Amino acid sequence: MTFLNPAILFGLLAASIPVLIHLFNLRKLKKVEFSTLIFLKELQKNKIRKVKLKQWLLLLLRTLIILFLVFGFARPTLKSMFIGNSSTAKTTAVFIIDDTFSMGVVDAKGSYLNQEKEIALHLLSQLHDGDEVALILVSDVNNQSAVTTDFSLLKKSVESLSISNISGSLQTALIKAAKLLDESPNYNKELYLLSDFQKSRMADGNQFPNLSEVMKEEIRIYAFPLGDKVVFTIAIDKITVNSQIFEKDKPLQVSAFISNYAKQNVENSVVSLFINGERTSQKSFSLKANETKEIILEGVLKKSGYQEIAATIEDDEILQDNKRFTQIYVPEKIPVLILTEELSDATFVQYGLQAANTNQQLQIDVKLLNQLLSIDLKKYSSVILIGTAGENISPLVQFVQAGNGLFFFPGSTTSIQSYQSFCAAFQIPKANNLSAGGVPFRFVSVDYEHPLFSRLFESKQKKSIESPEIYSAFLQRTEGKGKSLITISNNISFLSEFTIDKGKIFVASTAPVMTQTNFPLKGIFAPLLYESVLYLSSIQKDNVDILTGDKLTVNLLGNVSSQVTVVKPGNEKEFFPVDEKANELLYVNTDRFGIYYFSSLNKIIRAVSVNANPLESKTDYAEQSDIKEYFLKIKSSARLTFINKDEKPETIIKQARFGTELWKYFVLLAFLLALIEMLVSKSSKKDLISLTK
């Protein structure tokens, strides 16, 4: 016998109360003088013996009443069937249903998800009134599960289930289920695990939690492995934008990484590139089994603003991984700020940009550095800084860290100390010393593969830049922390690139003035400046790979009114009231594939692409031995039973389910004894009264 509420057994101490009361209330009978008739004395002795017998009987009855009540509340349960063939012990049953999109695979019995639903509904019909049930979905990243006794409500939930775009791990669902079962007071604790058991979605990486405290021996796990089909599926695992300069009516290059997860080769399949819903190119490809290839696609950007980019392949047995999204932003106008210590230092830069700005895409402002603290840098896509800002450099540092671009030239009067202060503010390598006079420096090497130079030459074979003469330069090396785009003697950088958080900076080692170099007179000067501004203005600030179910943090600083509007894929809108002083918005409804737009004050403040988890495409199913090994890794003591598709689950479960709760019988006995105690107590009182007369 097992007690489901063993802590109540401490109440057995209460059984001593009637005994103590009996001992304290013992009293000697008073001697009563009678006549010399002997038969009267004998009569008195008989009555006394009768009273004592009833008192002992009352003591026994009262003690048993307390004992039976305590046993009843402690819920004693037998580990074998008792009184009939059906178990009367209460059951808590938790159903884990895998509703991720790999369950959309169809075999001879229908889709895996529909098979799960049929099994779950059948098992629910085997439960009884008073049992508890819970439903946990593998896709439920927000943990909304709880036990209920409302079977009809749970049946409706199961019947309405559909494939989710959100991927999740069985491990996360198991942790939720183990907690619910551990908190249950019921004797029978059952976990029904319905899944295709993809190896890639069993655990969260290589993390295996210790569930020994909650996944105990009394829990029975019934595993229904449904994944037994060889699935034909190809997936787009990743899409990247190779072009780093975005301009209207210019080409865009995209890479689609496609994997063949099938066990057969794929011949002459087709991948297409869509820009804003319009097919711009397509290519055929072939893949061996378990092979991944990068397919390069090109299209033309026909408009400015946000561009929705998608790569698609032909349909197969898993549809959700056949399309992948990303997005870029092409500005219609690029506001550029030139900050300079001396206006004369900015002359060649300003004229060079104006000369290259033939399509009037750039909007150029020139301001003095002493105005920096009063300038709203958020209005600009990039900044050209000539000279150092000294102690007022922090706004520019924040500007770059937020995902913007900065092109730095030293000024004609910049000292080595102020140059090094600038480097320290951006945490880039410092210059060693200032070189002036002697033989002029010349270009030694140019990184022609960098996007900055990709559009400067019509022929890919003949690439060369006429080197200027450099009379004075700060001697700086990247020291592995950046890229040297143009190098002069001894690996000293003339122009280098550094990444600062989300943004980038170009650092030149000489001022754009004739006293230090004749570079402004060379034909490459103006187009190089123009391409630099386009490159620095095309930085994608939100290149995070967001998967369905992930949470998004949207920066709201200075961008919102009292409401943020979210436009989801399919043009569904959501509205979120926000405090005007709020710094960010946490968004959790990423349940669809595609582009999400966040806007306020009629302005888009962020666009985010959300895609499928590529792990969901791997249809390598776990064997029973793999599943057993996994439960050993999480230190589970629960008893694991596998139920295959051709087996009747109710037969196996009834054979395993056991236990008869006896609390009703103990309470009934206590009630009957209480009735007897009342009758005996009433009779005993009459005898005592007759004795005292």
pLDDT digit string, tens, across residues 284-340:
999 999 999 999 999 999 999 999 999 999 999 999 999 999 999 998 899 999 999
Q: How confident is the model at residue 544 (pLDDT cuts 50, 70, 90)?
A: confident
Kindly state whether residues 125 and 212 are assigned to the same domain. yes
- pLDDT band at 4, cuts 50/70/90? low
- Which has more pLDDT, 186 or 285? 285
**Final residue of a structural domain among 474, 509, 537:** 537
| Section 512-516 average pLDDT | 94
- For residues 143 and 77, membership in a common domain is answered with no
pLDDT at 86: 43
Q: Using 50, 70 and 90 to split pLDDT, how confident is the model at 574?
A: very high
- pLDDT over 70 at 75, yes or no: no
Whether residues 466 and 399 share a domain: the answer is yes
The pLDDT value recorded for residue 285 is 96
The Cα-based distances of 213 to 92, 106, 185, 629, 639 in angstroms read 18, 38, 15, 18, 15
Determine the angle formed by the axes of helices 663-692 and 38-73, rounding to 10 degrees. 160
d(CA 200, CA 185): 34
pLDDT greater than 90 at residue 517: yes
Considering the domain architecture, whether residues 214 and 273 belong to the same structural domain is answered as: no
User: Which residue in 470, 375, 482 sits closest to 428, CA to CA?
Assistant: 482
**Domain coverage including residue 247:** 234-330
Q: Is the pLDDT of residue 82 over 70?
A: no
CA distance 500 to 268: 43
pLDDT (average), residues 215-223: 93
Tell me how far apart the alpha carbons of residues 302 and 316 are, in angstroms, rounded to a whole number.
32
Where is pLDDT greater, at 409 or 502?
409
Q: Are residues 516 and 531 in the same domain?
A: yes
| Res 673 pLDDT > 90 | no
Same-domain check for residues 209 and 154: yes
Section 261-278 average pLDDT:
95
Residue 56 has pLDDT above 80, yes or no: no
pLDDT attached to residue 548: 96
pLDDT at 261 over 70: yes
CATH of the domain at 574: 2.60.40
> Residue 344's domain is classified under what CATH number?
3.40.50.880
Position 516 pLDDT exceeds 50: yes
Residues 6+ apart with CB under 8 A from 431: 416, 419, 420, 423, 474, 475, 476, 509
The neighbouring-strand residues paired with 408 are: 385, 507
Sheet holding 483-488, edge to edge: 362-368, 334-340, 382-386, 405-409, 503-508, 492-500, 483-488, 445-446
pLDDT for residue 67: 82
Q: Does 17 score more than 60 pLDDT?
A: yes
Distances (CA, A) of 238 to 295, 326, 390, 596: 11, 9, 43, 18
Query: Between 364 and 538, whose confidence is greater?
Result: 364
pLDDT value of position 658: 53
pLDDT at 224: 95
Query: CA dihedral in degrees (29, 32, 34, 37; nearest 10)?
Result: 10
Has residue 626 got a pLDDT over 80? yes
Specify whether 531 is located in the same domain as 559: no
Higher pLDDT, 540 or 377: 377
Report helix, strand and coil shares of the chain as percent, to nearest 5: 30, 30, 40
* Cβ–Cβ < 8 Å for 338, 352: no
Q: Which amino acid is at 448?
A: Y
Rounded to 10 degrees, the C-alpha dihedral 368/372/374/375 comes to 90
Contact 479, 429 (CB under 8 A): yes
In 10 A of CB 306, how many CB atoms? 14
C-alpha angle 427/433/438, rounded to 5°? 145
Q: How far apart are CA 194 and CA 170, in angstroms?
A: 10
The gap from C-alpha 218 to its chain's centroid, in whole angstroms, comes to: 31
Domain boundary among 287, 311, 330: 330
pLDDT score at 3:
63
> What pLDDT is stored for residue 72 in this prediction?
75
Domain boundary among 290, 315, 330: 330
Grouping H, G, I as helix, E, B as strand and the rest as coil, residue 409 is strand
Percentage, residues of the chain above pLDDT 90: 62
Verify that 296 and 416 share a domain, yes or no: no
Answer whether residue 657 shows pLDDT above 50: yes
Distance of alpha carbon 34 from alpha carbon 26, whole angstroms: 24
pLDDT band at 693 (very low <50, low <70, confident <90, very high): low
Residue 690, pLDDT above cutoff 80: no
Number of domains in the chain: 5
Over 80: is that where the pLDDT of 653 sits? no
Looking at residue 175, which CATH number applies to its domain? 3.40.50.410
Tell me the pTM: 0.77
- The predicted pLDDT at position 29 comes to 47
The Cα–Cα gap between 89 and 93 comes to 13
Q: What is the DSSP letter of 104?
A: G
Q: Are residues 414 and 352 in the same domain?
A: yes
Q: Please tell me whether residues 300 and 349 are part of one structural domain.
A: no
Which whole number is the average pLDDT over 603-615?
A: 92
Q: Is the confidence at residue 492, as pLDDT, over 70? A: yes
In angstroms, the Cα distances linking 45 to 269, 575, 680, 688 are 110, 92, 20, 13
Section 62-80 average pLDDT: 74
- φ/ψ of residue 68, rounded to 5: -65, -40
Q: Which two tokens stand for residue 153?
A: 């409500």
The pLDDT mean for the chain works out to 87
pLDDT over threshold 70, residue 28 = no
Same domain, residue pair 524 and 565 = no
Range 159-194 burial, b when 16+ CB lie within 10 A, else e: eebebbbbbbbbbbbbbbbbbbbeebebbbbbbbbb
Identify which of 311-320, 579-588, 671-680 has the greatest average pLDDT: 311-320
Residues 150 and 189 in one domain: yes
